[in-house]
Amino acid sequence: MARITYREAISKALWEEMERDPSVFILGEEVGVWGGTYAVTKGFYDHFGPKRVMDTPIAEATIVGAAIGAALTGLRPVAELMTINFAFAAMDHIVNQAAKLRYMFGGQMTLPLVIRTVSGGGRQLGATHSQTPDAIFAHFPGLKVVAPGTPEDAKGLLKAAIRSNDPILFIEHATLYQTRGEVPDEDYVIPIGKSKIQRQGRDVTLVTYSKMLELSMKAADLLSKEGIEVEIVDLRSLRPLDMEPVIQSFKKTNRAVIVEEGWRSYGVGSEVAARIYEEAFDYVDAPIKRIAQKETPLPYNRTLEQMALPQVEDIVRAVKEVL
Amino acid sequence: MDTQLYLDLYYQMVLIRLVEEAAAQLYQQGKIGGFLHLYIGQEAVSTGVISARQPQDRVITAYRDHGVAINVGIPAKLVLAELLGKATGVSKGKGGSMHLADVRRNFWGGHAIVGAHLPIAAGLALGDQYQESNAVTICMFGDGATNIGFFHEALNLSKLWNLPVLWVCENNLYGMGTAVERASAVSEIRQKALGYDMPNSRVDGMDVIAVREAALEVIDNIRGGGGPHLMEIVTYRYRGHSMGDPERYRAAEEVKRWQENDPIGIYRRYLESHSITTAENLDAIDQRVEQEVAEAVRFAEESPEPPPETLFEDIYAE
Ligand SMILES: Cc1ncc(C[n+]2csc(CCOP(=O)(O)OP(=O)(O)O)c2C)c(N)n1
Ligand SMILES: [Mg+2]
């Protein structure tokens, strides 16, 4: 075990998979000479060369489209979209092409494709550059959506994604890159589509993922001092969505709070709450609460932006309300 | 051209330079958050182009927008207040550095999604054409933006419909860390107009008078119904792409070479050697700008934060 950052974990996963399999290559904006906007691919260009670390023009639709085409020929492209905000410029290729080609052509085509991208607000980047629209992408059957919240999961899940034969949107979080955690030294993969209990508790089930896991852990520490023990289920993957650990936990606690960074309407919380009501209605002791971003585009001003984003205190308050 | 106009162009360029230097300082003090893309080195481009417009002409640009904001006449204090996220800022503190706009001055914003504002510019021009106004839309963008589909769709449409729009590509030789020739199949951006049978030109962006004259002529032609034009203006950004850019992609020597070609220095020499004004007059302008910027910084720092309830204002008109 080594204590490394989320950034290092992702970087190592990429590096190791590229060493292992010559069909894996990276393409995206500023991934090469610059070393990645978030420094994830620093040193890759010098080591693997321009054939396998390709700086592209600013052309999101064609970055994803070309990655799809290359994947169809049997390569394993890892396309990088600098942030998820720019995925909208590639939306057709993500949701109309990547998510549908296999099904539409009766299973003839296989797309071993990973699209790495970055979500998250809180850095004063303004309305178009601060979004967490993860749930939108999870709407489409045919696409898998993975969003790790710890270095260990980031590494294991990215390796699994690169080895997978399906198109996967791999969503990192802009403010997790410095977060440290224990990561196994040996080669390991974490199966995609498995939620994980990140903290055990008996009183309330907290369902979350990505950056909000960090906030939920802090809230859990605070609550624990008051004798309230929450159980935290980290979804890790939004599609497939593994409800098994959530339902199990809920049958024990009978109360749930769902925490996501994106907007509340039509969000992850909506989906998870509906599934709990559908699958465990008899166990419900209190209305399920959702913590999410306020329903406004994010403003630049720091104070206003923080007002709009979920905070640890919001989680603490919600847990107390369902008790 | 009368002397006052010559001096005003000088004043505007110096004002942009000093506003940017003040912004860099405020950023280092932690008072500006997010991204900050400085315009230093490119002052002659927007100053020359915008000086050629009439009040009815619309202007729209990308996120490197402080220069345009100053040139369209937004007071420096309102620009800096926006950079500090204050209620007095042009976008009420909600936009920040990348999103300055002043619709009353016909400035339709800085836009942060690369290339996204080009189709919008086509629409502004369409609106004017539809309403039989004689306005021209001036749309500015970087070299990097010419590689995204938005650019090609907008250029094609503008030519097809003969829209009154001037496409201004600020070719500063890099999109972030990617040199033009590593991102674009043609490094002379003007050539991209050929596929749309569109008139085009290439202008020295370090020479404000050359830029102004080129823009005057072309805008006049567009106003007369001549249709869109792609103007490539070659320039250079002296600072990083945004603050904190390690600049691994270019040599310090190259930056130095371009700095010797400083647009403000070139223009100063031009004004003096053509006996348009004296060094003393120019120094006096420098001093006036220094004072103006110091006052603008004070105004911005002393301005109030936007009240909490504004978080939910302006989401919809109704
Ligand atoms: C669609 C989209 N993709 C990527 C980005 C990230 N990005 C911001 S600026 C930039 C470079 C743009 O270069 P250029 O158009 O030459 O403008 P310059 O910064 O040189 O003024 C990139 C890649 C973005 N904002 N929007
Ligand atoms: Mg550029």
Look at phi and psi of residue B214 and say left if phi exceeds 0, alpha if psi is from -120 to 50, else beta: alpha
Q: For strands A204-208 and A53-55, give the pairing.
A: unpaired
Q: What is the DSSP string of B48-85?
A: HHHHT--TT-EEEEES--HHHHHHTT--HHHHHHHHTT
A7 and A135 part of one domain: yes
* A176 part of a folded domain: yes
Tell me: the pLDDT tens digits for B1-36?
Answer: 899 999 999 999 999 999 999 999 999 999 999 999
Regarding the beta carbon of B143 and ligand 1, being less than 6 Å apart is answered yes
Spatial distance between the Cα atoms of B18 and B15, rounded to a whole number of angstroms: 5
A208 and A286 part of one domain: yes
CA dist B189 to B59, B65, B174, B185, Å? Answer: 21, 21, 12, 9
Task: From chain A, pick out residues whose CB is under 8 angstroms from the CB of B248.
Answer: 33-35
Place of tokens 């894996």: A24
For residue A183, give the 3-state DSSP assignment. Answer: strand
Q: How many domains does chain A have?
A: 2
* A191 part of a folded domain: no
Hey, what are A123's tokens? 């850095």
* A226 counts as catalytic: no
* A63 part of a folded domain: yes
* A79 part of a folded domain: yes
Q: What are phi and psi of B255, to 5 degrees?
A: -60, -45
The answer to whether A57 and A31 are in contact (CB under 8 A) is: no
**According to the model, what pLDDT value does residue B1 have?**
86
A178 and A256 part of one domain: no
Instruction: Answer yes or no: do A296 and B315 touch at CB < 8 A.
Output: yes
The answer to whether A14 and A76 are in contact (CB under 8 A) is: no
Would you say residue A115 has pLDDT above 90? yes
pLDDT values of chain B reduced to their tens digit, one per residue, 318 residues: 899 999 999 999 999 999 999 999 999 999 999 999 999 999 999 999 999 999 999 999 999 999 999 999 999 999 999 999 999 999 999 999 999 999 999 999 999 999 999 999 999 999 999 999 999 999 999 999 999 999 999 999 999 999 999 999 999 999 999 999 999 999 999 999 999 999 999 999 999 999 999 999 999 999 999 999 999 999 999 999 999 998 999 999 999 999 999 999 999 999 999 999 999 999 999 999 999 999 999 999 999 999 999 999 999 999
CA A268 to chain centre: 12
**Candidate of B36, B176, B189 to mutate for ligand 1, largest count of ligand atoms within 8 Å of Cβ:** B176
Domain of A314, CATH number, reads: 3.40.50.920
Edge to edge, the sheet with strand A114-119 lists A53-55, A24-28, A76-80, A114-119, A168-173, A144-146, A237-239
Catalytic residue among A8, A60, A231, A260: A60
The answer to whether B57 and B217 are in contact (CB under 8 A) is: no
Regarding the beta carbon of B145 and ligand 1, being less than 6 Å apart is answered yes
Tell me: the pLDDT tens digits for B253-264?
Answer: 999 999 999 999
pTM of the model: 0.98
A100 and A202 part of one domain: no
A169 and A236 part of one domain: no
The answer to whether B110 and B83 are in contact (CB under 8 A) is: no
A28 and A63 part of one domain: yes
Farthest-apart Cα atoms in chain A, separation: 59
Q: Which residues pair with A80 in a beta bridge?
A: A28, A116
A79 and A101 part of one domain: yes
ipTM score for this prediction? 0.97
The range of the structural domain enclosing residue A43 comes to: 2-183
Regarding the beta carbon of B175 and ligand 1, being less than 6 Å apart is answered yes
| Residue after which a domain boundary falls, among A133, A157, A183 | A183
* A60 counts as catalytic: yes
Spatial distance between the Cα atoms of A288 and A252, rounded to a whole number of angstroms: 15
A158 and A251 part of one domain: no
* A54 part of a folded domain: yes
A160 and A236 part of one domain: no
Q: Which domains does chain B have, with CATH numbers?
A: 3-300 (3.40.50.970)
Domain of A81, CATH number, reads: 3.40.50.970
Instruction: Answer yes or no: do A126 and B96 touch at CB < 8 A.
Output: yes
A163 and A209 part of one domain: no
| Residue after which a domain boundary falls, among A121, A153, A183 | A183
CB proximity list for A42: less than 8 A, separation 6 or greater: A11, A35, A36
| Residue after which a domain boundary falls, among A183, A216, A250 | A183
The answer to whether B4 and B278 are in contact (CB under 8 A) is: no
* A315 part of a folded domain: yes
Listed in order, strand segments (DSSP E) in A209-310 are: 230-234, 237-239, 256-263, 289-293
A58 and A99 part of one domain: yes
**Residue A5 buriedness (CB in 10 A; 0-12 / 13-18 / 19+):** middle
**Residue type at A306?**
Q
* A158 part of a folded domain: yes
Q: What are phi and psi of A137, to 5 degrees?
A: -70, -25
Shortest distance between the Cα of A295 and any Cα of chain B, in A, equals: 8
| C-alpha torsion sign, points B130, B135, B136, B138 | negative
A124 and A231 part of one domain: no
Tell me: the pLDDT tens digits for A51-92?
Answer: 999 999 999 999 999 999 999 999 999 999 999 999 999 999
Instruction: Answer yes or no: do B249 and A61 touch at CB < 8 A.
Output: no
* A188 part of a folded domain: no
Hey, what are B57's tokens? 């002409």
